[in-house]
Amino acid sequence: MQADFVIVGSGSAGAVMADRLSADGKHSVIVIEYGGTDIGPFIQMPAALSYPMNISRYDWGYESEPEPHLGGRRLACPRGKVIGGSSSINGMVYVRGHARDYDHWEEQGAKGWAYKDVLPYFERMETSHGGQEGWRGTNGPLHVSRGPRKNPLYHAFVEAGKQAGFELTEDYNGEKQEGFGPMEMTVHRGRRWSAANAYLKPALKRPNLTLVNGLARKVVFDGKRATGVEISRGGSIETVTATCEVVLAASSINSPKLLKLSGIGPAAELKQHGIDVLADRPGVGANLQDHLELYIQQECTQPISLYSKLNLVSKGLIGLEWLLFKSGLGATNHFESAAFLRSKPGVEYPDIQYHFLPVAIRYDGKAPAKSHGFQAHVGPMRSKSRGSVTLRSADPLDAPRIQFNYMSHAEDWADFRHCIRLTREIFGQDAFTPFRGKEIAPGDGVTSDEALDDFIREAVESAYHPSGTCRMGAAEDPMAVVDPENRVIGVEGLRLADSSIFPRIPNGNLNGPSIMVGEKASDHILGKAPLAPSNKQPWINPRWQTSDR
């Protein structure tokens, strides 16, 4: 088993690189993936999104250590263990992130990753259905579409935002992120359009690309040069040899774990587990970030929500229509309206995200409210809280320790209280009057700061956006793990490209930015000149210094 390039992980970035590195036929590529097939309705049917992340066959099943600021709760941290990685088990919401997110990356030392540099890669990867002309890709492998928004609640949410004085936007992935408008999803012809469907499966038809099923144990080195990957499969341990480079794309949880098992990480931690130190990089596993969100739920006085579709007969009929025609309520993730808002005057660009859903239900499909309802998922986008991924042992089969350190900043609590009160203001607008029943969660009586904090502590959930654990920066930055060309600092022949390289978590869901990283990293790996920078300027609210809307 030998190839020019060996990629660990077939997820959002790994699938892209498998396609791009093998495209010209000059290079042989092997992709190592521990998970199995993504065939079957639980993954391919968009509306079934709550199932795959609860099935151990598809999910690594990670959870955080007890979180000290959340009363010792352990929060789920699903990561895809299947062809397509987390793009095969996620909620399919497509968000590029805000232009200023990437400008901030460059300020943090990720030179060449400003908005002007990454926008051409977003355009290269997309085929946008209904996006803003001139700002969106029209010929890429990743199809991005919009839901039909047939339910009147989707329009009530957007209209309520307008009535509250906020901006509207027709395309938050175009020039103007700020405002209320339609949400986008990676769904194409009624199917989940994962990185596997978009990139990997078409590329696997090439003779120079091979998929190997096995567990990556560590990167193999000759001196300081990466020469391959040690894997276990079928009860034996083998080495997959890379004649050019090894590329890690194993997720923000498994990439730092693999680096540490390979001798790259904080020296004290490696020695503690009896691992020889190849490169002392204290940043490996540090800087862990995520988005948290609350579900603000309201009863609906009209029987129009999805509640009536939660019984077995309705689910069966929805599933049948989807199986036969790839249409109907099975062909959407049901996140069809969205908003990106600024929390206060003086905030230059949005720092709050909304997903709107015309049913009151948990993301994982558990504990639906016993009535017709609707809900907003809301949370701040730029928490200052930082956590870490550390080794539990030197055994590659052991899950790492994941400590997010959620809500460790006083600002986090103030931000979330504001999110709750803001959502109540939006749900209180005239647009919702025909539909608005009593508040289910937090509940009408929960109004004081203390009561809201109690609710936050008990109810806040991860949005499943872990990132930042191998951050990109200048080669001389002691806390950086990869340089701006995705090379792991301190060794040779090893690159890393996935959500772990984000210096700071971008605005919104992470699938889009992770795919973009795979696209841009491919050019660096192949030694190609980066795409020409864009001169497009994002819309910034002219009132940002004086108003939140």
Pick the closest to residue 8 from 266, 264, 240 (CA basis).
240
Tokens of 83: 């062809």
What's the mean pLDDT when you consider all of the chain? 97
For residue 436, pLDDT beyond 90: yes
Residue 370 — pLDDT band, cuts 50, 70, 90? confident
Q: Is 454 domain-assigned?
A: no
Pairwise CA distance, residues 397 & 352, whole Å: 37
For residue 366, pLDDT beyond 80: no
Annotated binding-site residues for FAD read 4-33, 82, 90-93
Handedness of CA 502, 291, 263, 214 (dihedral sign): negative
For residue 416, pLDDT beyond 70: yes
**DSSP collapsed to 3 states, 489-521:** CCCECEEECCHHHCCCCCCCCCHHHHHHHHHHH
Cβ 510 vs Cβ 467: under 8 Å: yes
Q: Is 338 domain-assigned?
A: no
Residue 271 — pLDDT band, cuts 50, 70, 90? very high
Annotated binding-site residues read 4-33, 82, 90-93
What angle (nearest 5°) sits at the alpha carbon of residue 401, between those of residues 395 and 407? Answer: 170
> What pLDDT sits at residue 363?
66
Tokens of 483: 């340089």
CA atoms within 13 A on the CB side of 528: 13
For residue 364, pLDDT beyond 90: no
CA atoms within 13 A on the CB side of 186: 35
For residue 278, pLDDT beyond 70: yes
For residue 432, pLDDT beyond 70: yes
For residue 120, pLDDT beyond 70: yes
447: how many CB neighbours lie within 10 A of its CB?
A: 13
* Torsion (CA) 525, 466, 509, 159 in degrees, nearest 10: -160
Handedness of CA 188, 189, 190, 194 (dihedral sign): negative
Tokens of 215: 């567990």
Q: Is 432 domain-assigned?
A: no
Q: Is 305 domain-assigned?
A: no
The string of pLDDT tens digits covering residues 83-102 is 999 999 999 999 999 999 99
Tell me the backbone φ, ψ of residue 201, rounded to 5 degrees: -65, -45
Q: Which one of the listed residues 69, 98, 188, 465 is annotated catalytic?
A: 465
Mean pLDDT of 394-420: 98
Left (φ > 0), alpha (ψ -120 to 50) or beta: where does 334 sit? left
Q: Is 280 domain-assigned?
A: yes
Active site residue 465: yes
Mean pLDDT of 442-471: 97
Q: Is 217 domain-assigned?
A: yes
Give exposure, 121-148, as e/b (b: 16+ Cβ within 10 Å).
bbbbbbbbeebeeebbbeebbbbbbbbe
For residue 368, pLDDT beyond 90: no
Pick the closest to residue 337 from 351, 356, 353, 360 (CA basis).
356
Q: Is 310 domain-assigned?
A: no
The CATH number given to whatever domain includes residue 504 is 3.50.50.60
Mean pLDDT of 313-335: 96
User: What are the respective helix, strand and coil percentages of the chain, to the nearest 5?
Assistant: 30, 25, 45
For residue 276, pLDDT beyond 70: yes
Q: Is 126 domain-assigned?
A: no
From the CA atom positions of the chain, what is the Rg in Å? 23
For residue 367, pLDDT beyond 70: no
Residue 520 — pLDDT band, cuts 50, 70, 90? very high
Pairwise CA distance, residues 519 & 528, whole Å: 12
Threshold 0.95, pTM exceeds: yes
Domain tally, the chain: 1
Residue that the structure tokens 């249409």 belong to: 327
The string of pLDDT tens digits covering residues 31-79 is 999 999 999 999 999 999 989 988 999 999 999 999 999 999 999 999 9
Range of the domain at 191: 1-91+187-287+466-528
Amino acid at 236: S
The string of pLDDT tens digits covering residues 279-296 is 999 999 999 999 999 999
The string of pLDDT tens digits covering residues 245-259 is 999 999 999 999 999
Mean pLDDT of 337-345: 98
Pairwise CA distance, residues 318 & 328, whole Å: 7
